[in-house]
Amino acid sequence: MTIVFYVIAAITVAGALAAMLLKNTVHCALALTVAFAGLAIQFLELDAQFAGFAQILVYIGAVAILVVFAILLTRGSETPKEGVFSKTWLAGLAIAAMVFAVLSWAVLNSTSSLPGDSPKPTVSVLEIGNALMGRYVLPLEIVAVLLTSALIGAVIVAKHEKGSAK
Amino acid sequence: MIKNADQIFVLLQHWIMSFFPSVLQPIVGVLLAVVTIICVFPALFAIAVLLERKGLGRMQNRFGPNRVGPLGILQPVADGLKSLTKEDIVPTSADAVVHFLAPVFLVVVVFMGYAVLPMGRNMTLVNMDAGLLFFFAMGASTELSVFMAGWSSRNKYSLLGAMRAVAQMISYEVPLLLSSLVVVMMTGSMNLGRIVDAQNQYSWGLPHWYIFTPWGFAAFLLYAIATTAESNRSPFDLPEGESELVAGYFTEYSGFKFALFFLGEYVGMLSVSGLGTTLFLGGWSAPFSFLTWVPSWIWFFGKVMMSICVFIWLRGTLPRMRQDQLMNFAWKFVLPLSLLNVFVAALWRFLGDGWARWGVCSAILLVAYFVMAKVGMKSEHFGPRSYRYAE
């Protein structure tokens, strides 16, 4: 645990907290992006290049934009007058606490099952590629077919709408 | 002597580093490289802007800038000074923090992309395995800054421009990634240095650039279309269409922040040109084997400036597209073709050496192109051209 880790962790947690606590929904989305970026830098700090850059590409490049679009297209980014807390906040709090408990239990257990001071594994992008093309080729292909069909499906849906409109 | 000219910047870096104690040397080396990138590309930006204004003037039958300095070549200096001294206006209702952060974020992210570009032999700042992924990760982050600029300005033109820009950039990012994927498939690496090395071979004096293969040529054209749209250049410049949206997402910016957006756009254009050069045009390798004695960085920057000239030429030639045309073009023409191109590249790989694969791959791509163009034109119901007013 270096000082870099603590700095990045502080930024990530601050971003996540700001995402919950800020009043303006768009500000929340932007703060969430800071948390995503913090996680990506955390991956890079652990020498996981692929995971880090994929995190930036997918979460900052696509998910953050999607969140922002959803906010802008559904209702105004203004704060509602009756406050941002829903009536069922107690149940929400309980569920959040339970999820946090389960996650932290899993994380704490996983460290005890690993040997204590194991050196950082160095996994290069090449090795990830080889593993994906070798051992995990079937799941990869299934995901690839699913995504490609989704892509083609999107095009067909767009084409169909145009045809029926005319 | 020739070898020294090729490596002059590397040697210069090592010479300056030798003045420092060995503990500091790595840091000094990186700092030097970063400072060089931050100085060289804005200088190229100034040249590109001048070239664009002069070239557009030429194409539109006017002079272009010709007052500042001989032939107007000092115009970028005057523009820079002007934007520095202008008042920085922030609208009262604007979201001041986000409004300030947007141009800063854009420029930082755009410059980060240069870290992985091989600009000459041994001239890569960070030679990492996931170089291409890093470049696209940085490129995708610019969308956020465009949105921040448009939303924080509290101006309907800005917001409309930002929405258009983000929709356009997301749509064209898919063909951008798919067209670059082909190169990764063929090289077997995402390391940009290795991609250049794979193209830096010659048979009969001609280079093995990827553009000289059917799939590479198709991928290059798709890449060029996608990057033109990504950098919001004409004919895809709807997000900043002057006739509709004043200046799109940076309408409410003035003074140096406006200059930063301008810089971000051009430096982004230079960086995607650099990536296109690296992926398809052989990076820093010479176009003929008898020209390999010319320093590698001359080839890289020459190719980048040629790409900029093509961008300018396109801007002077093509009219702006409509929003629905833009989206239809992305999702119904560019995307299916780039998907098909991935299959063609795989076919190329497994057909083995010989002339058969040239014929098969070219035929598939050409037939697909003509059929899709025909179908696309038919659904648009284009009839004979009719004139209402200009008879």
Is residue B363 domain-resident?
Answer: yes
Residue B373 lies in a domain: yes
Q: What is the pLDDT of residue A78?
A: 59
Q: Is residue B138 part of a domain?
A: yes
Q: Tell me how far CA of residue B374 lies from CA of A86, B72, B224, B327, B332, in angstroms.
A: 55, 46, 22, 18, 12
Q: Is B133 on the interface with A (CB under 8 A)?
A: yes
Per-residue confidence (pLDDT) for residue A166, from 0 to 100: 40
Strand partners, B203: B206
Find which of B109, B129, B195 to mutate to test the A interface (most A CBs within 10 Å of its CB): B129
Phi/psi for A122 (5° steps) reads -100, 105
Whether this model's ipTM surpasses 0.85 comes out as no
Tell me: pLDDT of A146 over 80: yes
Asked if A50 reaches chain B (Cβ–Cβ under 8 Å), the answer is yes
- The parent domain of residue B178 ranges over 44-378
Please tell me whether residue B332 adopts helix, strand or coil conformation. helix
pLDDT tens per residue, range B111-123: 988 888 888 887 8
Going by the DSSP 8-state scheme, the letter that residue B321 receives in this structure is: P
Confidence of residue B1 (pLDDT cuts 50, 70, 90): low
Burial string for B314-329 (b: 16+ CB within 10 Å, else e) reads bbeeeebbeeeebbbb
- Strands, E, within chain B: which ranges? 202-203, 206-207
Judged by phi (left if over 0) then psi (alpha if -120 to 50, else beta), residue B61 lies in: left
What is the residue-averaged pLDDT of chain B?
84
* Partner A contacted by B151 (CB < 8 A): yes
Mean pLDDT of B30-55: 88
Counting Cα atoms < 13 Å in the Cβ hemisphere of A127 gives 7
Number of domains in chain B: 1
Chain B residues in contact with A27 (beta carbon < 8 A): 95, 98
Alpha-helical (H) ranges within chain A are 3-21, 25-45, 49-55, 64-74, 89-113, 125-133, 137-165
Is the pLDDT assigned to residue B388 strictly greater than 80? no
Report the C-alpha gap between B302 and B280 in whole angstroms: 15
Confidence grade of residue A114 (pLDDT, cut at 50, 70, 90): low
What pLDDT shows up at residue A165? 45
Residue A49: its chain B contacts at CB < 8 A?
Answer: 128-130, 133-134
pTM exceeds 0.80: yes
Per-residue pLDDT tens over the stretch B272-329: 999 999 988 888 888 887 877 788 888 888 999 999 999 889 888 888 887 777 887 8
- Which residues sit opposite B206 in a β-bridge? B203
* Interchain CB contact of B31 with A (< 8 Å): no
The yes-or-no verdict on residue B263 having pLDDT over 50 is yes
Residue A53 and residue B339: Cβ atoms within 8 Å? no
The Cα B104–Cα B302 span in angstroms is 29
Answer whether B328 sits within 8 Å of A162, measured CB to CB.
yes
Q: Check CB contact under 8 Å for A49 and B140.
A: no
In a domain, B32, yes or no: no
Residue % of chain A over a pLDDT of 70: 79
Work out how many CB contacts closer than 8 A connect A with B.
83
Helix (H, G, I), strand (E, B) or coil at B283: coil
Instruction: Judge whether B118 and B284 are in contact, CB under 8 Å.
Output: yes
User: Counting beta carbons within 10 angstroms of the beta carbon of residue A102, is it exposed (0 to 12), middle (13 to 18) or buried (19 or more)?
Assistant: exposed
B177 belongs to a structural domain = yes
Q: Give the pLDDT of residue B152.
A: 85
What would the pLDDT profile of B190-235 be if each residue is shown by its tens digit? 888 888 888 888 888 788 888 888 888 899 999 999 999 888 887 8
For residue B389, is it within any domain?
no
Asked if pLDDT for residue A80 goes beyond 70, the answer is: no
Q: Which of A113-117, A128-132, B250-254 has the lowest mean pLDDT?
A: A113-117
Residues of A in contact with B174 (CB under 8 A): 151
Beta bridge partners of B202: B207
- B39 in a structural domain: no
**Shortest distance, CA B379 to any CA of chain A (angstroms):** 8
Q: Which residue of B95, B140, B151 is in closest CB contact with A61?
A: B140
Which residues from A are below 8 Å from B173, CB to CB? 61
Residue pLDDT, tens place only, A23-67? 778 888 889 999 998 999 888 888 788 888 888 888 888 888 888
Q: Using N-to-C axis directions, what is the helix angle for B131-152 and B156-187, rounded to 10°?
A: 170
Query: What whole-number distance in Å separates Cα of residue B293 and Cα of residue B299?
Result: 11
* Record: contact B140-A60, CB cut-off 8 A: yes
Angle between helices B255-280 and B25-59 (to 10 degrees): 100
Phi and psi (nearest 5°) for B5? -65, -40
Pick from A26, A65, A79, A128 the residue to mutate for testing the B interface (most B CBs within 10 Å): A65
pLDDT digits (tens, 9 = 90+) for B367-382: 888 888 888 777 666 6
